[in-house]
Each structure stands twice: as structure tokens, then as C-alpha cells.
Structure 1
Amino acid sequence: MSEFKVDVYQNEYLPQGAAEVNAIVSVTSTGGGTARSASGPAAEVIIVDCSGSMDYPGTKLAAAKRATAAAIDTLRDGVAFAVVAGTDLAELVYPRKFGMVPAGPETRAAAKRAVNRLRADRGTAMGEWLLLASRLFATRGDALRHAILLTDGKNVHETAGKLDRILRQVSGQFVCDCRGVGTDWEVKELRKISEALLGSVDIVAEPQDLEADFRAMTAAAMGKEVADVALRLWTPEGARVKFVKQVEPSLVDLTGRRTESVPRSGDYPTGSWGAESRDYHVNVEVEPAGIGDKMLAARASMVVPATGEVLGKGQVIAIWTDDTELSTRISPEVAHYTGQAELAGAIEEGLAAQKAGDIERATAKLGRAVALAHSSGHEDTAKLLAKVVEVVDPARGTIRLKRAVSAVDAMTLESRSQVTKRVGRATEEGH
């Protein structure tokens, strides 16, 4: 069983009259972590886009079939699974009767035969795909529930409003990792799905790379041990949580996902956990107190709401002081992740401006992104930026826009812009 450790990084000292407390809640789960070592009930739904565009070129559907077979082979014995073909409808490919079946030699072979018969036709309605996945998962209520959604195009046969309604309906029921193959899909569309379902989004530019990616996603899902974990924040009388954001390994705003739990407490969903670490930026508004006063501004606990089990906890503290040296000290963890959020925003705004032909704004925003990536040591993002702009001076953020940028490079930068780099820990005291 996984064990949870909660550390809080912050500057506890506030100047007189200050009412805002910022902290990074760092959560580390140990135990499990591999498909072999994890145990307990789990369920997997693999959703394959079978719209007509998957036949252009035909290598996409062929690669998707191989990738699906690789995912099926990666499932632990006994894990319930199903395969869905997505068009403007959602069709259960395997098993033939509604429901899910446990993975084993016979069911894996039968599923791969069914997948091999898939053909590309019709349109795209991703909400319908997710609804069918939800109904399938409902037959396995106690399991760790994970889905893979693969598409090569836009959600053209469903309105944005309908997709939003479906996402609200299925949110919290399963985790979904989304992948776009090629460059004819929309990053914002898949990000909307992945964020609502606490998963990831990424581009697989070349169809032949799908197999390794599906295998890795499935192995990660098989390594999860605890489902439906929430970050529970208790605040004292007169205080309120202004925002909660996952800031590592990727940026996800959880503020609007709060559900009330025990008195003066709210739960923020974090999905399933294996052996891993994640960081959350918590901002709490409190009633200012007197110089020298100390307050518990928030209690952060990792809990399983369904059972009430507390997996780990930490404290966010506020101390008011007239010592400016103490109160003006910036927590390196809070500063780092604030910069990471600014980096993601600069990339998103810069790419949007570039698409719109606003050269001045695109240059300013992408230049700022280059400077932030350089100063934070985010080498992966710096390399992606260098494919989209010509970097003259990374420290100053001096760049020139490239005249020709490949769609793959631009979409890779956009899809990975929310991936963050963890701050180095100077100490282990948690402050």
C-alpha cells in the first residue's frame, strides 16, 4: 500500500496587516509504482479514433492498432478492460457484450483480434466516447479507473457546449490521458478533456511512436495503487481558500473543483496515485492578526473521501512580524512555481499572437518565455522554444520569430507548455 508524506514550503512571516498566505504543498507517495508491484482492482478503457481521417494516411490506423495491442499486453492479469472505437458514435469493440472483462491470455488475444478488424469511417464526437467509457467504468466502481483517448482530429460532430456538459457529468469518474497523432487536432480541445479528467495531453507526431507511448501510459496506470485521492484543506473561522493549483508535474487549476467535506474544509480532487510526487500551490486569505501572533492558516491533508482515510497531512502557518528582513523573504518554492505559471502563460499567449499575425506581441511573449525558461533551468522547454524562435540572448529574452515554423514544432511546444520543472530543495525542513 502506498504511504504519503506531506511537506509544506513557505515563508511563514507576514508584515503587519497582511492577509494573504502562500505555500507549496509537496506530496510524495511511496510504494507501488510499477505494473508488477501494484495490486488491487483496476480497470482500463482504450478509446481509438476510427473516424475517416485515420485512413489518411492509412499508417495512422495501423499504428493505432499496434499501439492498442501493446497496451493490452501491458495490462496486469485480472485488470478489467474494454476497447472503444470512436467516430460520431461510440462503439464497444471488445468485449462484444456490454461490460468489461479481466485481462488474461484468452481475452488479450480475442481483444487484439477485434482491434485488428477496426476500419476508419464517419466523424468525430469525443463526448460520446467518454460517455461510453463512463458507463463501462460504472460496472467496476471499486477499481482504479484509467482511460487512454487517441484522436487525430477535431471534435467536429459535437458542439463545444455538449462536450462541456459531458465533461462535467463524467468528471471524477476516471482519469484520462489524451494523445493527438499528427497535427490536425486541437491542443486546447484535448487539454480541456485531460484537465477535466486529471490526465495528461501530448502530441505523437509520428504514428510509429504510438506503440511505445501507449505501453508507457498503460504501465504508469498499472502502477497506481490508490484511487480518488483528494487534497483536503481546512481553514479557520474567517479564512478562505483563494486558489489551489497543481504546479508539478504539470499546471492544473483545481480551484473550481472544490467540494465541501467536513466543517470549514474543502476537497480538491487529485486522481489516482502510485509512487510519485506532486506539488500544489495553495493561497489562503486570513484575517490579519497582531505582531507576534501565530496562526494555523490551513491544514492540508491527503484523504480518500469515500472512506475518510487520512493518508498524510501538513500545516500552513502565518506569523505576523515587524521585522522586514523576515517578512520580505521570498519562498524559493513559491517564487519558482509562480514563474512556471508565467512561463506557460507566455508560451500560450505568444503562440496565439503568432497565429493571429501579431508579430509584436508574439515576439514580446515568446521572448519572455525564453527568459523564464533560461532562468528556471527548464531545458526541455528552452529546446522546444528554440525550434519556434531564433534565440539571440536567452538571459534577456531577446529573440527573432522564425519565418517558417513546422506545425509539429509549434504543437509540441503548445501541448507541453503546461509541463513544469520541479524546484530544487535547499533543505528538508519543509519551510
Structure 2
Amino acid sequence: MSSHTRPTQPDIRLHVDLDGYLRPHRSAKIEAHLRVEVAATGAPADLPAVELAVVIAVDVAEPLRAAVRHALPAALRALPDGISFIVLGGGPEPVGCYPRGGAEWAVADEDEKRRAVFAAGAVPLHRDGPRPAGYAPWAARSRALLAGRPLSVRHLLLITDGSSAPGETRLEEELDACAGHFTCDVFAVGADWTPDPLLTLAERLHGTAQFVDDGLGREITAAIRRLRRVHAPQLPVEVTVRPSVRQVALSEKAPRPHRLRGLSQPGGPRHWSFPTYQWEQGRRDYLLTLVADAHADPLETDLQFAMVSIGDVHAPVTARWHRPRRPPPHVPAGSDGVSTLKATAVMRDALRQGLTLWEHQPDAAKRYLGQAARLAVRLGEDWVLREIGLVADIEDAASGRVQLRPAVAADTLGSMILRAGSLPGAPLPDTAGPQQGPRCGHCDAPAGSEARYCIVCGEKLL
């Protein structure tokens, strides 16, 4: 997402921890926990509203007009002055509700908000007849509109009851086109929507998906307030690897689970960039996975497999191949971070799978929910136990014994699946320490403290 102005980069601290003693083979997996801490030192408390552009899209059928009748005007009244906004309604295709008169965008002030509130009372909603074929048309229309508003933060707030979801044909293709252009939060209302495409929208466009039974106006206002706390709208995580590394993957685990798509950078396949968005003050946890061919690497020697860079901050990923028949002299404390990161991801996935299968495959659902309960006890994630308790009786959480309840309200499972897949989680416990390293004397690239050769130019470190 581009901008006329470049916001001041916040203070960033990057830490890496991993099990530094690995078993060598031709497709060895190296997993590292990346912890990124952002402090808005010297930056304003809120991003100026003039740097935000928001599309409010109402994908709701006429029978559910009551769900947005009061919420949409309340959210429009609460818009900060100076924000660029547009309201879309539904028909055979997404149609403009406000602004009118041929203008694509409105800039909020008292008069604009008053006129927008009046127009929102007649926001067009789906009626009998053709409807948009899924969520792709909403993403496509937002992409076209936001392309003409190159501000720091560009965002889609999609309010949906699922009425346009049947017939979805090209969501993945459209999300590929939208990646990097804007972010998205999804608010589900009613009871007839399907969780999976909403979670796909939120994950691919770096936002959240949530069910809103009441207080939709407050949730929209809170989402815009979160946008104003963004201190770095786009901040790529860059990974440069040694030649023996064949695969690179990065996923955000906390506060929101996101699979990140890497972009190969000019200069060869050894440099990857993973775009990330909406950086607020606080912490994020990532799992970096490398697959390396170790057949030609020396044993019992510290090697730098990658350099991770965020802005002007760098941290090395170093480890050593251990002789296969000899146990490592000790297990580094940092390996706890990787195991906790993976266990948290497995717990969330087990919870989501158990809820998804609850109605049609009860035996499988019971196994998944039991696994989620065991991990929740181990990780201290009480919210997971509370979620499981809504659909099952927990007999022994530590051993994963649960019994499904005979009945659950029809509109309960969908909202729970959204929470399992998109609810922000707490940062992982502190397990990583800062790693400072020297710089190469030939090309000035940062290097790990134990590295012997520069990962960029290949020269021996002085």
C-alpha cells in the first residue's frame, strides 16, 4: 500500500531462537521462532485520519436490513474528520450508496457525515434476483476504488450475511490481485453465512473475521480506531538464505494467525520478502521454516542459514549440524519457543476442525476437541477450554476426554469457528534473547556472531 508520505518507522527489535543442534540430511527442516517488538518511540499516538481510506461494504439481504439500520449511521457519525470513505450496497453487483453525484470518495467532516447518514438509511441491499457471485466482486470493486486513493492505510470493512456467497467462483484469484493493495476486516451478521470464505478473506488480506450479534456500529468504529494506531502500514520481513536452503516459509502465529506469501526478490532465489501490514505497538510471533540440503555442510560447526531483516534491523539464523549418532550436549532454551509456537498452531487448528466436524462427524470432532483441550491445559489457554465447554462436556481436560453435547444452537458453531480461526491471541512467553552480530568488512552486510562467511557476498568474515 503506497502513500504520499512515509510514516516515521517505529523502534523495532527482532529476536530469533531455535534448536541450534540439527540432524543433517538432504531435506533437513530448520524451524525458528521470530519475535518482533515494535515501540512507537517518537511517533504520534494516532495516524492522522487524512492518511486513511476505508470502504464500508454492506453485503446484506433485504430481510436483514434491521441488522444495519442503526449500526451503519452510528459508525458514519463516529468517523474521524479527514478520513476518506465510501459506502457500498448490494445489488446484482456492488453499487455505490455514498458519496453521490459521481464522486468516488468522500472526505469526512460534519456536513459529509450528515449527508452520508441520511443516504445510509436507504442503502441498497440484496433483493430477489441476481446477486454478486460470492465475495470476489466485493474485493474487486474495493480494489478498483482504493487504487485511486494512494494513502498510507487502505482498508475494506465488509459486513456480510452470506447472501452473496453461493456461486463463489474466483475468490482465490481475486485475493491474489488484491494482495498488497489493501487490508480487510469482516463482520458476519445473521446466521446463514459460511465461515471458511470469511476466514480466507481475513487471512489473505491481513485482517480479522468475527461474528457480530449486537453492537455492529461499535465494532466498525473500533476497527477504524485500530487502523489509526498503525505506525507502519506495510513492513516486509525479508529473509536471505545460504545456497543450501531450498525452501522458505513464514507464518504469523500471534497475535493473529496468518500464512504469509513470500515474494522472490531480484538477484536470485536466495532473497525472499514476506509483506506484512498494520503494525501497531506491541509484539508479533512468527514461525520461520527452512528446508536445507546438508550433504555438503560441515558437522559440529556453527553455520548461518539465513539473515532475517525488518526495516534496518537484522538478526541471523544460526545452527549446527550434529553428528547423527551423538546426542547434543544440551538443548538450547530457545527451542521451547519453537515448540510452543507449533503447539499453539496445532491447538487452534484442532479447535477449528472439531467445531467444523461437530454436526456431521461426531467421533472425529470429539478427537479434535480433546486434542485442543490437552494443548490448552499445557499452554494455559483458558479461552480454548471455555470455547470447548460450549459444545462439549469436558471430563478431563489434561487427558483430552470430552463428550459432545446432544444439541447446540444452529448459529453457535459458525461464530466459534471464526473465533478459532481469527481471534487475536496473546503473545508467546518470552523465550528469545537479543542477538547482536558484526557486519561484513567487504560488503557491510550484517552477519551472525558465530558466522565465518558472509551470506551476501560469500567472503570470509574478518
Q: Identify the TM-score tier after normalising by the shorter chain.
A: 0.7 to 0.9
CA distance in 1, matches of 2:180, 2:254: 20
Q: Is the 8 A contact 2:159 2:188 kept in 1?
A: yes
Query: Shift of residue 119 of structure 1?
Result: 4.6
- Report the equivalent of 1:306: none
- Report the equivalent of 2:140: 131
Stretch moving more, 320-329 or 37-46 = 320-329
Query: Shift of residue 5 of structure 1?
Result: 1.7
- Report the equivalent of 2:197: 189
- Report the equivalent of 2:152: 143
Query: Shift of residue 102 of structure 1?
Result: 2.3
Q: Is the 8 A contact 1:349 1:365 kept in 2?
A: yes
Is 1:416 paired with 2:414?
no
Please, what is the CA RMSD of the aligned residues? 2.5
CA distance in 2, matches of 1:213, 1:423: 26
What are the Cα deviations for residues 221-271 of structure 1, in whole angstroms up to 9, with x where unaligned? Answer: 1111322321111101121334211111122222x4434344421111212
CA distance in 2, matches of 1:242, 1:179: 33
CA distance in 2, matches of 1:143, 1:334: 33
**What secondary structure is seen at the aligned counterpart in 2 of 1:324?**
coil
Q: Is the 8 A contact 2:308 2:316 kept in 1?
A: yes
- Report the equivalent of 1:113: 118
Query: Shift of residue 177 of structure 1?
Result: 0.6
CA distance in 2, matches of 1:262, 1:144: 30
CA distance in 2, matches of 1:191, 1:154: 16
CA distance in 2, matches of 1:49, 1:20: 44
Q: Is the 8 A contact 2:315 2:435 kept in 1?
A: no
Structure with the higher strand share, 1 or 2 = 1
What 5-or-longer segments of structure 1 have no aligned partner? Answer: 303-309
**What secondary structure is seen at the aligned counterpart in 1 of 2:136?**
helix
Is 1:83 paired with 2:63?
no
Query: Shift of residue 297 of structure 1?
Result: 1.0
Q: Is the 8 A contact 2:354 2:367 kept in 1?
A: yes
Aligned positions of 1:27-426 closer than 5 A:
27-31=36-40, 37-39=46-48, 41-55=51-65, 58=66, 60-69=67-76, 73-75=78-80, 77-96=81-100, 97-122=102-127, 123-124=131-132, 125-156=134-165, 159-204=167-212, 206=213, 208-254=214-260, 256-263=261-268, 264-288=270-294, 289-302=297-310, 310-322=311-323, 324-326=327-329, 328-329=331-332, 331-356=335-360, 358-418=361-421, 419=423, 420-426=425-431
**What secondary structure is seen at the aligned counterpart in 1 of 2:192?**
coil
CA distance in 2, matches of 1:366, 1:216: 32
Distance 1:243 1:381, change over 3 A: same
Q: Is the 8 A contact 2:135 2:168 kept in 1?
A: no
CA distance in 2, matches of 1:13, 1:146: 43
- Report the equivalent of 1:24: 33
**What secondary structure is seen at the aligned counterpart in 2 of 1:233?**
strand
What 5-or-longer segments of structure 2 have no aligned partner? Answer: 1-7, 437-462
CA distance in 2, matches of 1:165, 1:412: 26
Q: Which amino acid aligns with 2:13?
A: K
Q: Which amino acid aligns with 2:152?
A: A
Q: Is the 8 A contact 2:60 2:162 kept in 1?
A: no
Query: Shift of residue 385 of structure 1?
Result: 1.1
What are the Cα deviations for residues 56-90 of structure 1, in whole angstroms up to 9, with x where unaligned? Answer: xx3x12144245325xx243x32222111134311
Distance 1:120 1:190, change over 3 A: same
CA distance in 1, matches of 2:162, 2:372: 28
- Report the equivalent of 1:307: none
- Report the equivalent of 2:448: none
Query: Shift of residue 313 of structure 1?
Result: 2.3
Query: Shift of residue 172 of structure 1?
Result: 1.6
**What secondary structure is seen at the aligned counterpart in 1 of 2:358?**
helix
- Report the equivalent of 1:4: 12
Q: Is the 8 A contact 2:232 2:280 kept in 1?
A: yes
Query: Shift of residue 363 of structure 1?
Result: 1.2
Q: Is the 8 A contact 2:31 2:338 kept in 1?
A: yes
Count of residues in correspondence between the two structures: 413
Q: Under a length normalisation based on structure 2, what TM-score does the superposition of the two structures give? A: 0.82
Distance 1:67 1:119, change over 3 A: same
CA distance in 1, matches of 2:41, 2:186: 24
CA distance in 1, matches of 2:71, 2:192: 16
Q: Is the 8 A contact 2:55 2:155 kept in 1?
A: yes
**What secondary structure is seen at the aligned counterpart in 1 of 2:219?**
helix
CA distance in 1, matches of 2:200, 2:147: 22
Query: Shift of residue 118 of structure 1?
Result: 1.9
Stretch moving more, 391-400 or 258-267 = 258-267
**What secondary structure is seen at the aligned counterpart in 1 of 2:157?**
strand
Q: Is the 8 A contact 1:378 1:421 kept in 2?
A: no
CA distance in 2, matches of 1:226, 1:74: 21
Q: Which amino acid aligns with 1:379?
A: D
Query: Shift of residue 154 of structure 1?
Result: 4.2
Stretch moving more, 392-401 or 182-191 = 182-191
